[in-house]
Amino acid sequence: MLYRIAKPLLFRMDPESAHHLIVDGMGAAARVPGALPLLSAAWGVGESPELAVDLFGLHFAHPVGLAAGLDKNAKAVAGFSRIGLSFMEVGTVTPLGQPGNETPRLFRLPPDEALINRMGFNNEGADAMAERLARLKRRRIPLAVNIGKNKATPNEKAADDYRACLRKLYPYGDFFVVNISSPNTPDLRALQHGDELALLLAAVKDEMIVQAERHGDAPKPILVKIAPDNTDEQLRYMAAAIVQSGMSGIIATNTTVGREGLTHPHAEQTGGLSGRPLTKRSTEIIRSLYAITEGKMPIIGSGGIFDADDAYDKIRAGASLVEVYTALIYRGPGLLRSLHKGLRERLERDGFTRITQAVGADHRSSPVRR
């Protein structure tokens, strides 16, 4: 109800201005006495043991988290932790702050329930994020830090940037995500292929071990976020490199450069497309990755999740967890209660007692059919 009232006002604003208003507002709420419990009362979800997931040595109350890109600078972790998410990503963060691409760089496509962005990793830098996360009293939900390279850093030195992010932010993330799949940083997606991928992941893994030893911890999980715009052959190579490098999982997928089926005039804008047009393709990528890795590499599904069917399809295709972003812009935080309720209903319908039983169900010889 609250978001239905606010949405028309937000959608009359420039998309990036509305974005900052929401994030800054959520950040400010954490500093107002009594505001965080009110967020929980308005949008939080109850405990449902059948939806709980234990993965990467972490506990997730249910499978639905927040994708990177909304809280780029970790300004609103406390607030977002109270609206029904089971985990969240912050970032993408780069070693040095950078302004990103020229504005306008964020576009709504309401008839298509989509967004196009060419933000370009605009962020305040790893030091600013570390300072902000250090002030958090505790993390209520698992926090992933999504790391990238600065625009000015050539690909042959990209590993140095990912190492720098790990050095500065290691204490503050429960797991880390290597972003090599944004279409808005020149040549970044080239890091997904060839020897560059194996060398980059080896460097990231090495730095994780160094930081874990330095802090007296076990190495934290590292996931790799990939693009949806890859051939089957490229997917097989990437999956093999990710497995061989000792990464903990894959996030599938980032935004797409495809424009099939769009109706809004903004379809001509360059950048990464997210939202409803990505639903089917991201699920196909998850299905392929699960088959390629024989279900042994955990997958977080991201892309076009607007209802419980979208989330459940990705889980049955092979995702252990899923992420939302664009649907929150169009549906508001009430989306999370809807997903929570809908996933429980689908489990009961299919005869599963735990959400983990549904992961990859479509691949089994005699899956429970809907």
Residues catalogued as catalytic = 182
Q: What is the CA radius of gyration of the chain?
A: 19
> What does each C-alpha distance from 285 to 252, 282, 301 come to in angstroms?
7, 5, 9
Q: How far apart are CA 154 and CA 185, in angstroms?
A: 11
Write the burial class of residue 96 (CB in 10 Å: 0-12 exposed, 13-18 middle, 19+ buried): middle
Residue corresponding to tokens 């809004």: 264
Q: Which residue, 63, 187, 76, 195, is CA-closest to 129?
A: 76
Of 229, 244, 246, 363, residue with least CA distance to 285: 229
Element (H, E) at 338: helix 334-350
Residue type at position 26? M
Cβ partners under 8 Å of residue 60, min gap 6 = 52, 53, 54, 86, 87, 141, 142, 321
Of 272, 348, 361, 347, the residue nearest 314 (C-alpha): 361
